[in-house]
Amino acid sequence: MDAHVGEGSSISIRSERRTPKAAGWCTVKSPMRKSVSLLVASLLFFAFIRESQAGPKTSDLVQQLKTSDDFRVRTQAALALGASGDDAAVKPLCDALVDENAIVKQSAAAALGKLGKAGGLSCLKTALGKEKNAKVQAQMQKAMDVLAGSAAPPPPGPDSKYYVAIEVTNKTKRTTDEVDAIVRAAMQAKLLGKTGYAVAPKGESSAAAGKVVKAKKLAGYYLLASVEPPVYDGGNLTQVVRVSMWTYPTKSLKGEFAPKLTQSDTPKSDPEGEKILIKMCVETAIDTFAKVVASL
């Protein structure tokens, strides 16, 4: 392992006399134009009604998920709840993790990850401990990784000395969201386990970071983790994660680490093994980073 110092239909009606004051309404004097205005207004009103009724409400989806005898209906309801963004979707999705159908359980787990609400983490953990189906287990773990990675870190405390921002780039065939969740969760947990470290929230602006660093008198660092594609060769699996270390919020390169780990006896694709190695590489990189910081 080397470290070295070194990168949004509107309808418009044109009136010759006056510009409409509101969508679909024209100020006119003739009876004919009044009729046109009323007709347009009616059309817009009914279009609005149709649009507002286009998608089922959360309560309707919850009812489908709980009571439908068709697992396909329950599956679609779970996925729709996951895309709803509604806090009220967490409990019914958690309840669906023990559905009699494995596909419904997988869909509920995936939906909790998509929903992105921290409340889903504990029920996923509980359900995972009781689940026997390997595919369902894998989906539950994946959702937990996503939720853990999106969890906001606590603000700097009175003992904090270092403030660390994390960014992840993905060069593997996994989805960017999955890799970001895996790496961010591992890095955040490792950093917060060390004395004096605080982690910046995801997507924090430079201006906001500057205020925190200045107000708390912290040393700011930015870690950019690049997950390289896994390599299968000679019956082994090798994974590399390159981490560059910068000052924060000003971006000045201070060092680079490239932990490389190999898992033997892996003649074919092993996604779970890849994930484990990614986490281990990241944890190794954080240990190296902390040693470098301590020497500055």
pLDDT digits over 69-96, tens only?
Answer: 999 999 999 999 999 988 899 999 999 9
CB–CB of 56/50 below 8 Å? Answer: no
Does 137 reside within a domain?
yes
Length of the chain as a residue count: 296
Residue range(s) defining the domain that contains residue 270: 162-295
pLDDT at position 132: 94
Whether 102 and 182 share a structural domain: no
Whether 118 and 236 share a structural domain: no
Whether 134 and 212 share a structural domain: no
Which helix (DSSP H) or strand (DSSP E) does residue 148 occupy?
helix 134-150
pLDDT at position 65: 96
CB–CB of 293/162 below 8 Å? Answer: yes
Which of 9-23, 41-55, 93-107 has the weakest average pLDDT?
9-23
Whether 91 and 214 share a structural domain: no
Whether 185 and 141 share a structural domain: no
The C-alpha atoms of residue 110 and residue 275 are separated, in whole angstroms, by 18
Whether 90 and 170 share a structural domain: no
- Tracing tokens 């709803």 back to the chain, one arrives at 84
pLDDT at position 44: 45
Strand intervals (E) in the chain: 3-4, 162-170, 197-199, 219-227, 231-233, 236-247, 253-257, 260-263
Whether 113 and 80 share a structural domain: yes
Whether 140 and 262 share a structural domain: no
Whether 109 and 178 share a structural domain: no
Total of domains in the chain: 2
For residue 135, what is the domain's CATH number? 1.25.10.10
Does 139 reside within a domain?
yes
C-alpha 157, offset from chain centre: 25
For residue 169, what is the domain's CATH number? 3.40.50.10070
Whether 180 and 287 share a structural domain: yes
The pTM assigned to this predicted structure is: 0.60
The candidate with the shortest Cα–Cα distance to 108, out of 85, 76, 146, 131, is 76
The candidate with the shortest Cα–Cα distance to 36, out of 15, 57, 64, is 15
Does 21 reside within a domain?
no
pLDDT at position 146: 77
Whether 179 and 105 share a structural domain: no
In the chain, the percentage of residues whose pLDDT exceeds 90 is 65
CB–CB of 254/292 below 8 Å? Answer: yes
In the predicted structure, residue 173 carries a pLDDT above the cut 60: yes
In the predicted structure, residue 276 carries a pLDDT above the cut 90: yes
